[in-house]
A and B are shown apart, each in its own frame.
Chain A
């Protein structure tokens, strides 16, 4: 059972477009992370959000943690081909170190 559902599953856009990826759950997370994975590699951390309502920006990427700490979004402004990859949200539950990943969003940005 996947605790974290991401949408959309696949996204193909042109360079310069904006996009938003959503990560939703019925569970409350103590913190939530976003990772990006490229072919043949393991996921690499982009950001960690901890406080409900928190917004973090990383260049053209904006991450938001829902007020109830059950959902999150990733917004990319003016997407570039280098943004292509698999985007994964992941949540820590309770006081334990258990890190569960979402279903993933595969993004392709073309010229």
Chain B
């Protein structure tokens, strides 16, 4: 049963700490998205990759966020240093891009205290 896997599911950390979220996209998918969801802002696109190359990360605060795809089976989203306003659910999704379904993971619920 192919699915997108995100780890950890929950993370509580103190302000100023580094946070790394991981995503294993569905094997064979060439497009990976990172989204952040909050009640106030909804589902915001942070960054996305095609064939492991970053295409757009304009939705990400550049000074503290970074997204990478070290290989086709792993995407990472890192926050350093974390701040309370980063508290949200972070979703990874994968697919074949234009016009096709984006398959979402279950998300990482991040709380920064």
A residues near B (Cβ < 8 Å) are 2, 30-31, 33, 40-45, 48, 50, 88, 90, 92, 95-104
Q: Are A41 and B50 in contact, with the CB atoms below 8 A? A: no
Q: Are A45 and B42 in contact, with the CB atoms below 8 A? A: no
Partner of B98, one of A45, A92, A100: A92
Contact flags B71-112 to A (C-beta < 8 A → 1, else 0): 000000000000000000001010001111110111100000
Q: Are B48 and A97 in contact, with the CB atoms below 8 A? A: yes
Q: Are B42 and A97 in contact, with the CB atoms below 8 A? A: no
17 further A-B contacts with Cβ under 8 Å, apart from A95-B98, A97-B50, A101-B42, are A31-B98, A33-B102, A41-B104, A42-B4, A42-B91, A42-B93, A42-B105, A42-B106, A50-B99, A90-B102, A96-B56, A97-B55, A98-B55, A99-B33, A99-B48, A101-B45, A102-B42
Q: Are B48 and A44 in contact, with the CB atoms below 8 A? A: no
Cβ of A101: which chain B residues have Cβ within 8 Å of it? 35, 42-45
Query: What does DSSP make chain B's interface, helix, strand, loop or mixed?
Result: strand
Chain A nearest CB, measured from B45 CB (Å): 6
Q: How large is the interface on B (under 10, 10 to 19, 20 to 34, 35 or more residues)?
A: 20 to 34
Partner of B42, one of A48, A50, A98, A103: A103
Question: B24 contacts the other chain (Cβ, under 8 Å)?
Answer: no
Which among A2, A48, A99, A104 has the greatest number of chain B C-beta atoms within 10 A? A99
Chain B nearest CB, measured from A101 CB (Å): 4
Rounded to whole angstroms, the CA-CA distance of A103 and B43 in the bound complex is 7
Cβ of B98: which chain A residues have Cβ within 8 Å of it? 30-31, 92, 95-97
